[in-house]
Chains A and B, each alone.
Chain A
């Protein structure tokens, strides 16, 4: 019998339903894998074995009673950004020291209602601010992938680095993640996994620690397109507790898989061909174009002229919203407190000790661009540019384009503690150059692995869709997956 942890969600679901395996066996297999690997990979910051076994036992009972949910008995890892009742929830920040919420996020509650099992909480960049998982208070996550013939440790990307690494290393069947500027798609691309950021409003934000409220959106990271479709269906919901969640029916995303892309119009935006882009990325893009063309799609050149302004606009809007959202961490209601000579001194010392360097940097930028005299020049200008970025996409879709194909990242995974990136925040920010436009426009985007680079590291392609047309993305990504195959790292840990 194959190792239980190598089963996809769809395969495990079949074996659980046919009672070939039990949920307790499956959960125990994952707990064993985590125990053996986590000291090396550092994907989990908290493992919840007792809770996992209890949930698995209940799943077995529900399966026996013929009452199995859509994810019954499927063991998942949860990004530390999601509030989980009575379990470590700190957004991997020191400032939420000891925080254990008395409530459950809507997304995780939806998963438990469908029968999923929680294995533990996953590492991430502090407050989801980062592209390498190196800003976590709990230390970096190590990418299960290594370059051929090299022992050099690589980052899994960020901010959902723990989610991506845990999925790639088979330390969970699937994982929750969140994406504000690329935090699902970039780590998925770096680890050979599939990640989808759905349309803004598809998943409730209630109970997920806020970073930039107009951009944040939850989504899954999974081993393949089918598993991502299964997970998103359970995660999505309209929620009275999030007024930006959308009251639209949730399609059976899995049913979109296998549907033909014949006659579909795929847009190729010329602005995504950036200076200094490695040849491997260009080759991958051409390969993706060929896959879709072979499957009968029509390839059309399009223009998204404001693309180059998305990243600078993001680095105004996101820090501005973050500086406001993070004002709540003041040492009074939860988390860390450092005493001071008066209340203002207590606030300042608590926040200085609790936030890491990158988070402080973004709070400073956000406070600066919102401060008196600068608001119009920066924030208002950025929000106007955002309207133009969205309009670029609307014009392309209006002209008949069904989905847009781009590279997911400008490179494959880079090294831990890369000196050039450590000394230049803007160089690190450029990782999100292909993904951030999608958040700015609120559109859905999926990253699907499409090949390996010359170093043997995975690379991903991104598909961007019309609002609430995630089905088109699953259908098209599945065609790429069928053509390119799946990619699993050789086990060294």
Chain B
């Protein structure tokens, strides 16, 4: 499989990364280099092998479904670029 310019632009769009024409062109070469490198995995016989989901066999610990934290609205918005009365502000989404 090889990556072309159109694919780079589509993936950049999916990743929400603005890329210039120059950057996109450079990425074609770089991504192909990396994809070619990882391509060797296809030669491994994985029939009957389960994909790894956890490095240590463990059961997910669950906690009681109860409120354990809260009343921190000021803290939560403290680092936001734009806020108003503990709301995050973004450019208008709905007309």
Q: Which residues of A contact B (CB under 8 A)?
A: 98-103, 199-201, 214, 240, 243-244, 246-247, 306, 308-309, 312-313, 315-316, 323, 327, 330-337, 339-349, 351-352, 355, 360-361, 363-365, 367-369, 371, 374, 377-378, 380-388, 390, 424-426, 429, 441-442, 467
Contact = CB atoms under 8 A, between A and B. Distances in A.
Contacts of A388: 44, 46, 49
Interface of B: 1, 3, 7-8, 11-12, 14-19, 27, 30-31, 33-35, 37-42, 44, 46, 49-56, 58, 60-61, 63, 72, 75-82, 88, 90-93
Given A385-B41, A441-B55, A364 B82 contact: no
A343 B95 CA distance: 13
Contacts of B80: 332-334
Per CB-CB distance, the 10 closest pairs between chain A and chain B, nearest first, are A442-B55, A383-B51, A337-B81, A352-B18, A348-B18, A334-B79, A384-B46, A102-B75, A386-B52, A312-B38
Interface SS, A side: helix
A352 B93 CA distance: 21
Contact of B50 (A313, A384, A425): A384
B37 A384 contact: no
A378 B38 contact: yes
Contacts of A355: 17
Contacts of A384: 44, 46, 49-52
Given A240-B63, A332-B90, A98 B79 contact: yes
Given A337-B82, A384-B49, 15 more contacts: A243-B60, A246-B58, A312-B40, A315-B37, A335-B79, A349-B18, A352-B18, A355-B17, A367-B11, A368-B3, A382-B38, A384-B46, A384-B50, A385-B41, A388-B44
B37 to A, nearest CB: 5
Contacts of A429: 37
A123 B7 CA distance: 34
Given A199-B56, A312-B40, A337-B82, A343 B18 contact: no
A351 B46 contact: no
A308 B37 CA distance: 11
Contact of B72 (A102, A201, A312): A102
B58 A364 contact: no
A351 B13 CA distance: 11
B16 A344 contact: yes
A367 B15 contact: yes
B68 to A, nearest CB: 9
A322 B44 CA distance: 24
B12 A364 contact: yes
10 contacts: A101-B79, A102-B76, A309-B41, A312-B40, A312-B41, A332-B80, A351-B16, A352-B17, A381-B44, A383-B53
Contact of A368 (B11, B33, B52, B63): B11
Given A337-B81, A385-B46, A390-B52, A426 B91 contact: no
Nearest to B36: A426
A340 B91 contact: yes
Nearest to B43: A309
A455 to B, nearest CB: 29
B58 A363 contact: no
Contact of A343 (B14, B35, B90): B90
B18 A351 contact: yes
Contact of A442 (B39, B56, B92): B56
A91 B47 CA distance: 40
Nearest to A352: B18
Contacts of B52: 383-384, 386-387, 390
A371 B56 CA distance: 27
Nearest to A389: B52
A424 B54 CA distance: 32
A432 to B, nearest CB: 13
A398 B30 CA distance: 41
Contact of A426 (B33, B58, B76, B90): B33
Contacts of A334: 79-81
B30 A425 contact: yes
Contact of B88 (A199, A332, A341): A332
A105 to B, nearest CB: 16
A387 B50 contact: yes
B31 A368 contact: yes
A245 B72 CA distance: 25
A100 B14 CA distance: 29
Contact of A306 (B16, B19, B44, B75): B44
Nearest to A370: B14
A270 B93 CA distance: 59
Contacts of B72: 102
A347 B90 CA distance: 10
Contacts of A344: 16
A368 B46 CA distance: 22
A158 B54 CA distance: 26
Contacts of A100: 79
B2 to A, nearest CB: 12
A426 B39 CA distance: 13
Contact of A331 (B38, B42, B81): B81
Nearest to A391: B49
Contacts of B91: 339-343, 346
